[in-house]
Amino acid sequence: MHQHSRTDPYADRYADRAAGMVASEIRALFAVASRPEVVSLAGGMPNIAALPLDVIGGMLDELTRRRGAEALQYASAQGDPELRARICEVMALEGVHGSPDDVIVTVGSQQALDLLTRIFVDPGDVVLAEAPSYVGALGTFAMYQADVVHVPLDSEGLVPAALRETLERLRREGRRVKFLYTVPTFQNPAGVTLTAARRAELLDICAAHGVLVIEDNPYGLLGFDGEPMRALRADDPDHVIYLGSFSKTFAPGFRIGWALAPHAVRAKLVLAAESAILSHASFSQFAVREYLMTQPWHQQIKSFREMYRERRDAMLDALESMMPAGCTWTRPAGGFFVWLTLPEGLDAKAMAPRAIADRVAYVPGTGFYADGQGRRNMRLSYCYPEPDRIREGVRRLASVVEREIELRDTFGTGRAPERSGVDTPGPDTA
Amino acid sequence: MHQHSRTDPYADRYADRAAGMVASEIRALFAVASRPEVVSLAGGMPNIAALPLDVIGGMLDELTRRRGAEALQYASAQGDPELRARICEVMALEGVHGSPDDVIVTVGSQQALDLLTRIFVDPGDVVLAEAPSYVGALGTFAMYQADVVHVPLDSEGLVPAALRETLERLRREGRRVKFLYTVPTFQNPAGVTLTAARRAELLDICAAHGVLVIEDNPYGLLGFDGEPMRALRADDPDHVIYLGSFSKTFAPGFRIGWALAPHAVRAKLVLAAESAILSHASFSQFAVREYLMTQPWHQQIKSFREMYRERRDAMLDALESMMPAGCTWTRPAGGFFVWLTLPEGLDAKAMAPRAIADRVAYVPGTGFYADGQGRRNMRLSYCYPEPDRIREGVRRLASVVEREIELRDTFGTGRAPERSGVDTPGPDTA
């Protein structure tokens, strides 16, 4: 079980959960991909260039002078009460009416996921996740030795019939399902959004099976058309745990995320957080709270939305005009990502080094599955590069794919053997 | 196993590790203890009143304007390279020569403890800890279902002979010891410091038994006499993992701690951190790095030391002149804490509500043991209250103890039955 025993003198001492923890080979690739000549469609970093740094600097100066004695001290493990009240106002934009007392502030929503998995999952327990699902969540589930069972999605999000069948099968098998993890809105990596009709259906199915839902919603306010979608949590406060984040609507540098959970669960989360980190950075909490209380954040989100829409349009237009026949992709109405499927016989993972040699990077689809699916898929992100760079990146990608198609037609597929297990390419912060 | 099943609708779903997670009754007591009329000798909050808030505010303003595009973005999971280089300079003050590449920046040293326990400890594995030991570490070990075995300390720190006997006994029993956790300098809660001679002996014993040492050193630079002690890590880079923190030498509000670990262990820690939180707050890292690079931090630590020494003196003088015969206590040469032992037949935990009624708070000793020891002990902290308040607190405490002695002499001990298990009173941030 333990790898690297020849080079790691501590290899015989690790816990079982750590035995499989090795950096993916894709990471090494990404180190190369960060060179300036490469167009990276791989990262998930928000573009924060539009933030008024001088205004924020002044705000933090004032905050430190006026409230530094608190902002530089320890916080409580649950998080600043005033920030939690402001968080409830943010969630209200999606129809969620929660109490600040049921909110816990976390180190990004990643920590909320970690704490939830910690309190709910014993090794071998089943966790349901979309196919594909967020790579960071899969990494956390693997860490706690969960058995991830995927439920397919299509252009309207998670497929309810498939969810029902999966739950019935697992029930017959006597398997314990601890929760369903879903990113219903502008999904990472697929870019699709669960329709209103399916939301109701999903909640009914989960309630009937007594399955908790973890709704991870970092992109909910970054829709390109009309009003924000109504969150799942808005219609089922007892069975849905909502995760949110300011990383995409303000800035990731403070690492402020949160969970809104039923009261008893929230109490466990606070105890788990205390054991994990004592408390999150008080300064980060005060900074975000001050931002929400004194800055025009609705307006800032609106300008983020416009910027990302322009980039989404650049990517979809470029894909439409340049990608060879046989490629298909999703059309996101918000968020950061397009999910592309290559023609039969192509392998996005095997192709990745050749793409990087041609100065374009993406994330191969296998990273978004716990079971080795995703060979023909890739995630393309339009959040960070300028529109012109996006077009140039797609142009390079299209020519790489064309060459792969020629190779396939000449020599056959030459596909590498399937493998299973999480193939984590690293966080979305590259 | 699962408590609160009547009131918690999710009680049947938690993981085994979460079943025992319930808030201690002592927490409720502490909520009362935070009233202004109570002198709290219970908390472990550093006193940061001496920090120049206007200077720090200006520094953060400048940092945001100049480097905001990075400071507000995601960081890497290992942490900012420049901050890690500065951290190595700080450790050099204690004779530690580490490479920035072997450092990981964590959310306080608490997160380093969590990640280390995560990668090393399977349920039932033995972790050695001083008796008494840091309450936050015991909470983390309990979370990962470690079996904590205590090793006694005295006024010269951990007793080497007892460590050797314990390791030999565990070896005979075929038990797996994953590491020794120790706070060798100005220990929390006991206030004692491992002597130089014992340091060498401890390292020899651990090396002979192949046991890793986790050296937790938040107070090392806050000594009241002479130069900093040489860290354990300085003399055994291969078997000692060093944990540090800026919470006591600068400010807790950024939550910047770190671990310096052998290279292979550091690599696992980074993967574990990524799964736990993706990355720590970039802004916090830039803030501390900027502070270390532009502010007179040696001078600031010197003035912290002088302030804490004055408070330590106030507490020791007050204890000497006021406490009834039969009480004994430690005499810390640095750090935040005095460890007091009550006369035979008294019970610090049972006495705590009566002390709070008399407007003085402390932490009962049982919280610092995993096995129910500590009934006659309490931790008194002198870090936060002003010297006059410390004297007043000790005066109140002395009169409570006197009354308890009278009660004992009149009615017998009336001691509550022993119980075992971690009786976590909450973090040191109250």
A324 token code pair: 């060879």
Q: Do A14 and B120 touch (CB under 8 A)?
A: yes
Alpha-carbon distance of A385 to A314, in angstroms, equals 11
Instruction: Please tell me which of the candidates B56, B64, B427 has its beta carbon nearest to residue A57.
Output: B64
- List chain B residues with CB under 8 Å of A118: 15, 17-18, 143
- The answer to whether the complex's ipTM is over 0.90 is yes
CB pairs under 8 A between A and B: 274
Q: Do A122 and B74 touch (CB under 8 A)?
A: no
- List chain A residues with CB under 8 Å of B285: none
Q: Where are the beta strands (DSSP E) in A169-287?
A: 177-182, 212-216, 240-245, 256-260
A416 pLDDT band (50/70/90 cuts)?
low
Name the nearest CA neighbour of B144 among B167, B166, B127.
Answer: B127
Q: pLDDT of B306-319, one tens digit each?
A: 999 999 999 999 99
- List chain A residues with CB under 8 Å of B264: 4, 7-11
Instruction: Please tell me which of the candidates B14, B110, B144 has its beta carbon nearest to residue A120.
Output: B14
Instruction: Please tell me which of the candidates B58, B77, B178 has its beta carbon nearest to residue A427.
Output: B77
Whether the per-residue pLDDT at B419 is higher than 90: the answer is no
The answer to whether B250 and B86 have CB atoms below 8 angstroms apart is no
The answer to whether A316 and A309 have CB atoms below 8 angstroms apart is no
Whether the per-residue pLDDT at A33 is higher than 90: the answer is no
Whether the per-residue pLDDT at B416 is higher than 80: the answer is no
pLDDT above 70: percentage of residues in chain B: 93
Name the nearest CA neighbour of A205 among A167, A178, A246, A170.
Answer: A167
- C-alpha distances out from residue B18 to A116, A279, B118, B337, Å: 10, 19, 15, 31
Q: Do B64 and A51 touch (CB under 8 A)?
A: no
Who's near B409: CB < 8 A, 6+ residues apart?
none
Whether the per-residue pLDDT at B140 is higher than 70: the answer is yes
Label residue A111 exposed, middle or buried (CB < 10 Å: 0-12, 13-18, 19+).
buried
Looking at residue B4, what is its pLDDT? 45
Q: Do A277 and B110 touch (CB under 8 A)?
A: yes
Domain(s) labelled CATH 3.40.640.10 in chain B stretch across 73-294
Name the nearest CA neighbour of A60 among B258, B286, B277.
Answer: B286
Alpha-carbon distance of B379 to B426, in angstroms, equals 13
Selected for mutation to probe chain A from B135, B255, B278 (highest A CB count within 10 Å) is B278
CATH 3.40.640.10 at A73-294, yes or no: yes
Q: pLDDT of A135-147, one tens digit each?
A: 999 999 999 999 9
Domain(s) labelled CATH 3.90.1150.10 in chain B stretch across 16-51+299-406
* Minimal C-alpha gap between B325 and chain A (Å): 37
Q: pLDDT of B174-201, one tens digit each?
A: 998 999 999 999 999 999 999 999 999 9
Alpha-carbon distance of B383 to B44, in angstroms, equals 7
Q: Where are the beta strands (DSSP E) in B132-189?
A: 147-154, 157-158, 177-182
For the domain covering A16-51+299-406, report its CATH number: 3.90.1150.10
Name the nearest CA neighbour of B187 among B305, B296, B330, B286.
Answer: B330
Alpha-carbon distance of B71 to B282, in angstroms, equals 5
Closest CA in chain B for residue A108: B277
- Mean model confidence pLDDT for chain A: 93
Which has more confidence, B101 or A8? Answer: B101
Selected for mutation to probe chain B from A3, A48, A125, A255 (highest B CB count within 10 Å) is A255
**Cβ neighbours around A18 below 10 Å, total:** 23
Closest CA in chain A for residue B110: A277
The answer to whether A148 and A138 have CB atoms below 8 angstroms apart is yes
Q: pLDDT of B19-52, one tens digit each?
A: 778 776 667 777 777 789 999 999 889 999 989 9
Selected for mutation to probe chain A from B274, B289, B291, B384 (highest A CB count within 10 Å) is B274
Alpha-carbon distance of A140 to A181, in angstroms, equals 12
Looking at residue B413, what is its pLDDT? 67
Looking at residue A425, what is its pLDDT? 47
- List chain A residues with CB under 8 Å of B14: 119-120, 268
Whether the per-residue pLDDT at B255 is higher than 90: the answer is yes
Looking at residue B10, what is its pLDDT? 87
Looking at residue A16, what is its pLDDT? 92
Whether the per-residue pLDDT at A417 is higher than 70: the answer is no
Who's near B214: CB < 8 A, 6+ residues apart?
B113, B116, B179, B180, B181, B182, B240, B241, B243
Q: Do B9 and A45 touch (CB under 8 A)?
A: no
The answer to whether A317 and A337 have CB atoms below 8 angstroms apart is no
Label residue A310 exposed, middle or buried (CB < 10 Å: 0-12, 13-18, 19+).
middle
